[in-house]
């Protein structure tokens, strides 16, 4: 291993991004290495884009700040590709691992950057099969180790088990360990990267489109209550609510509980959903008594 490897993690609240960075650090401790695990997040809500950083080194680490020039970029939510800054600062010959059901070549076209060697793994599907929930952090850890052997599989497995033991049910622990192995098996490497070893030319991904954020500033949100209609969701959603109208009883509980008033009502009946402002929090799904609302992957609608 090189003297120091820096990893930048991208994901959304609830996907275990920070936990993944910490598990990698735990495994480095078992390996006898020096390490750091640093979180970075803003709004504390499910679905909010967040980052985390991990440093692994054979020598003491003297820096204590966010990773700006990573050797490895790991993306737990493919909808974040639309944000446009995932490969920013990636070192020449770096590695990109993205949770996606798509082939690396298709993801490369959407990524808009020729930086790094690109790998994909459908970590969400693996997690849903293994533990019944879309928490892709453990299978993507297995895929990461298959792409670049930073530490031993045994120590990573031990680190995952230690984090979970005594906190969750045994069957969920075993499901996660199975997902760890499955993530490594299902890793897909870009054909060009496989042929050339890596793409040496470092490029910066295009900057996010300011229009998608509508000038959102923390001060505006805090000082102007009830102003969510002024700010569109942009890329802040990984799933969206879909209504089966044949089962909808028009009880309007979704309308009552929606924190962003995204359900439109006409003549006391539910009429439509305002997806431009829906944050994908899923409160409507929990409140719906007829279970006619389900969450669907946002990536499906981005492609469409």
Cα–Cα distances (Å) from 121 to 41, 133, 276, in that order, read: 24, 16, 29
Is the pLDDT score of 71 beyond 90?
A: yes
Q: For the chain, where are the E strands, in sequence order?
A: 4-12, 34-40, 49-57, 72-75, 95-99, 117-121, 188-189, 239-243, 263-266, 269-273, 293-297
Question: pLDDT grade, residue 231 (50/70/90)?
Answer: low
Contacts of 95 (CB under 8 A, 6+ apart): 71, 72, 73, 116, 117, 119, 147, 148, 198
What pTM did the predictor assign? 0.67
Q: Which two tokens stand for residue 261?
A: 């008033």
**Mean pLDDT to the nearest integer, 235-257:** 89
pLDDT value of residue 127: 93
pLDDT value of residue 292: 95
Contacts of 32 (CB under 8 A, 6+ apart): none
Q: Which domains does the chain have, with CATH numbers?
A: 4-196 (3.40.920.10), 212-303 (3.30.70.20)
Question: Torsion over CA of 93, 126, 136 and 29, rounded to 10 degrees?
Answer: -70
Q: Which residue has the tokens 């991990």?
A: 54
Question: Torsion over CA of 16, 18, 22 and 25, rounded to 10 degrees?
Answer: 120
pLDDT value of residue 267: 86
**Mean pLDDT to the nearest integer, 120-127:** 94
Do the beta carbons of residue 271 and residue 52 sit within 8 Å?
Answer: no
SS3 content of the chain, % helix, strand, coil (to 5): 35, 20, 45
pLDDT in tens, 185-221: 999 998 754 434 433 333 333 333 433 334 434 443 3
Question: pLDDT grade, residue 293 (50/70/90)?
Answer: very high
Q: Which residue has the tokens 């884009």?
A: 49
Q: Which two tokens stand for residue 255?
A: 């309308």
pLDDT value of residue 228: 57
Q: Chain-wide mean pLDDT for the chain?
A: 83
Buried b (16+ CB within 10 A) or exposed e, 190-225: beebeeeebbeebeebeeeeeeebeeeeeeeeeeee
């Amino acid at each position: 291993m090189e003297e120091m490897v820096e990893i930048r993690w991208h994901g959304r609240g609830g996907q275990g991004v920070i936990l993944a960075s910490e598990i990698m650090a735990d495994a480095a401790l078992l390996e006898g290495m020096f390490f750091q695990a640093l979180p970075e997040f803003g709004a504390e809500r499910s679905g909010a884009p967040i980052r985390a950083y991990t440093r692994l080194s054979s020598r003491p680490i003297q820096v204590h700040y966010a990773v700006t020039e990573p050797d490895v970029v790991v993306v737990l939510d493919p909808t974040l590709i639309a944000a446009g800054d995932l490969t920013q600062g990636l070192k020449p010959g770096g590695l990109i691992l993205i949770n996606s059901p798509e082939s690396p070549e298709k993801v490369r076209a959407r990524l808009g950057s020729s930086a790094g060697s690109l790998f994909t793994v459908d970590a969400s599907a693996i997690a849903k099969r293994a533990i019944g929930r879309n928490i892709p952090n453990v299978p993507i850890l297995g895929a990461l180790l298959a792409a670049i052997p930073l530490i031993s599989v045994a120590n990573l497995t031990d680190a995952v088990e230690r984090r979970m033991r005594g906190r969750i049910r045994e069957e969920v622990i075993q499901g996660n360990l199975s997902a760890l192995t499955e993530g490594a098996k299902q890793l897909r490497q870009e054909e060009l990267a496989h042929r050339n070893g890596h793409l040496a030319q470092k490029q910066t991904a295009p900057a996010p489109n300011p229009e998608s954020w509508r000038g959102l500033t923390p001060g505006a949100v805090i000082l102007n209550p009830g102003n969510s209609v002024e700010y569109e969701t942009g890329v802040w959603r990984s799933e969206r609510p879909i209504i089966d109208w044949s089962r909808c009883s028009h009880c309007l509980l979704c309308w009552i509980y929606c924190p962003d008033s995204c359900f439109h009502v006409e003549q006391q009946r539910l009429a439509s959903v305002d997806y431009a402002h829906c944050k994908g929090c899923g409160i409507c799904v929990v409140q719906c008594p007829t279970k006619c609302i389900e969450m669907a992957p946002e990536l499906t609608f981005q492609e469409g």
